Amino acid sequence: MEKKTEKEEKYMKELQDRYIRFDWAIKRLLRQKANFGVLEGFLTVFLGEQIKIEEILESEGNQQDTDDKFNRVDIKAKNTKGDIILIEIQNTRELYYLERVLYGVAKAVTEHLHLGQDYSGVKKIYSISILYFDIGVGTDYLYHGQNQFVGVHTHDHLQVNTKERGTIVKRLPSEIFPEYILVRVNEFDKVAVTPLEEWVRYLKDGIITSGTTAPGLEEAREKLRYYSMSPEERYAYDEHLNAIMIQNDVLSTAKFEGREEGRAKERLETARRMRSDGLSMEMVVRYTGLSEEEINNL
């Protein structure tokens, strides 16, 4: 068997320290109950309270085929008050994105109110959008929003008097209306110190610090290693990243023209870099999916 060169050993070490992106993991690897610890840690950090996942909801947004448009993933979870949480994962620049977020939240509200049930059964929804694209101008990487009632003339916020809620108003607006959290991962440029910062760093760069104590990330280190996947899974994962890159590049077009050509060029460029770094033909074939003939023609 061919002995690995120093460069190959370095490349393999980098693979061992590489972690799968969260958007891929949440749709492919974290849907089993045994892996809920990662997602529960994520929700606990971003919502600031202990979260327990009950199930991953099946919907059109959870389809895993190559044309699924990377839509939402619905997670049915409970916090200490029994609220339902909806996670919205979005990677690509999509027209009418905010409208789609609103639709997803409205759908979650109605789906969990059974036919004939009174409105007391309406559950609180949290929508967490992990944005790998620019949605607007702002200086922060984390934004929070909720419905509020503001005086047209006085600009004050309407406060429900809890002592006089009686039988008409059973819950405060903050206990009913959905909350929206936007995570602008590309805007994060801090040294990760807090659990929240460690999570955002992972979402952005795929880096998980050894010895992390952030909820969910220790489990992620064990379950989301790129190198632990089979060659077929790695190939599918790399294709997923290529598809995201290509989709981002063709927002202005109605069709994904040139998608296959773009993927092929990416694989060829990866092979070219690997060969220039001195990696063996066997390694290049394994991690690009190209044939020896295609690689020799570079």
| DSSP tag of 124 | P
Q: Which tens digits make up the pLDDT trace of 57-86?
A: 655 444 444 444 444 566 778 888 777 777
With bands split at pLDDT 50, 70 and 90, how would you rate the model's confidence at 201?
very high
Cβ-based neighbours of 292, under 8 Å, separated by 6 or more: 281, 285
Confidence of residue 99 (pLDDT cuts 50, 70, 90): confident
Those residues with Cβ within 8 angstroms of residue 237's Cβ, 6 or more apart along the chain or in another chain: 20, 24, 226, 229
| Identity of residue 238 | D
Q: Is the pLDDT of residue 222 over 70?
A: yes
Q: What average pLDDT does range 280-290 have in this prediction?
A: 82
Mean pLDDT of 282-298: 82
What's the confidence (pLDDT) of residue 199?
Answer: 95
pLDDT of 97 reads 79
β-strand pairing of 52-56 with 75-78: antiparallel
% of the chain at pLDDT higher than 70: 75
211: amino acid identity, one letter:
G
What pTM value is reported for the model? 0.68
Residue 178 has pLDDT above 80, yes or no: yes
Residue 46 pLDDT level (bands cut at 50, 70, 90): very high
Res 152: pLDDT: 94
For residues 283 and 152, the model is more confident at: 152
Residue 147 pLDDT: 84
If you average pLDDT over every residue of the chain, what do you get?
77
pLDDT over threshold 70, residue 236: yes
